[in-house]
Amino acid sequence: MLTEEEKWRFDLHGYLHLRGAVPADDVRRMVELSDDWHAKPDSELPPPVSSYRDPSTDPTTPRSLNNVHYADDVFQRLTLNPEIMRVVLALTDNCPQLLAVSLTRNTQESDDIPFHGGFTGGIRNPANDYQAADGRVFTTFINAAVSLVDIPRGKGFVCVAGSHKSNFAKPEHVDIYSDPPDVDNVPAQAGDVVLFTELLCHGARKWTEPTPRRTVFVRYSTSYASWSPGLAPIAAHRDKLWPEVAELHETAGFQHRKEVVNRLLTDLGEDT
């Protein structure tokens, strides 16, 4: 499901830029919800949506609303987006698990996001894995950053390309504002997706545009190596999820093929 060029790019850089992957109507709906929900305190959000950190005590931290896919179908549709899932299925050997969906808002008052992930602190997370062999690439933790606005060059997502394979800690002087070739900056259009392995050293430059940056982060892992059983469907709100999305959330045994995966593979023209 990955082209040979996509395999080469992902293995070389640790990320893929999927252009125009999300329909414009869905982007507009997610922007409307972002503006509505981010204008409210947690007490007025539709359950189980809530802030990752309390914005009243962390006012300069970009506010991230978790569990948004329980509150509107547009985010459930995003978790099953064919272009995103085409890559996720290939990278997880057809054994994916949906971990989380969050809606983040960055403003001129928001802090930048220093480098994290990968080998930034001199210690690699043993739960993360990346391999490339026999014409395939594989990773156990994937992040799909869906841009809801245009991101100009010099702002937004940055990474140390190739750091998902690094065996050495990043020099301290290399930071999110460093220039190429040490640091890649990825400008994007609304509806684009930057999909990367969490092993990649990544961050975000400060947002200086007059209107907010709005991003949806959809996180996946291999279904048999879940980071936390608490990320499975929330029992009290499971009935709000489509059956396929609920199944995608579930952990599963090694190489177990979920029904939602069979359906996606059939739709993608792959032999199940």
Position 64 scores a pLDDT of 97
- In angstroms, the first-to-last Cα distance of the chain is 12
Position 215 scores a pLDDT of 98
DSSP, collapsed to helix, strand or coil, labels residue 249 as helix
CA–CA separation, 230 vs 67, rounded Å? Answer: 12
Position 227 scores a pLDDT of 59
Residue 123: pLDDT band (50, 70, 90) is low
**Is a pLDDT exceeding 80 seen at residue 232?**
no
- Considering the entire predicted model, what is its pTM? 0.94
Residue 44: pLDDT band (50, 70, 90) is very high
The CATH code that applies to domain 4-267 is 2.60.120.620
**Is a pLDDT exceeding 90 seen at residue 125?**
no
Locate the domains of the chain by residue range: 4-267
CA–CA separation, 237 vs 241, rounded Å? Answer: 8
- The answer to whether 214 touches 104, Cβ cutoff 8 Å, is yes
Residue 180: pLDDT band (50, 70, 90) is very high
Q: Which whole number is the average pLDDT over 97-117? A: 94
**Is a pLDDT exceeding 90 seen at residue 73?**
yes
Position 242 scores a pLDDT of 98
Average pLDDT value for the chain:
92
Position 161 scores a pLDDT of 96
pLDDT in tens, 237-251: 999 999 999 999 999
Position 121 scores a pLDDT of 54
Position 39 scores a pLDDT of 96
Instruction: Name 40's Cβ contacts closer than 8 Å, sequence gap at least 6.
Output: none
Tokens of 107: 């403003």
Position 120 scores a pLDDT of 58
**Is a pLDDT exceeding 70 seen at residue 37?**
yes
Q: Which sign, positive or negative, has the C-alpha torsion 33, 38, 40, 45?
A: positive
**Is a pLDDT exceeding 90 seen at residue 124?**
no
Beta strands in 36-187 (DSSP E): 50-51, 63-66, 96-106, 113-116, 130-133, 136-139, 141-147, 156-159, 184-185
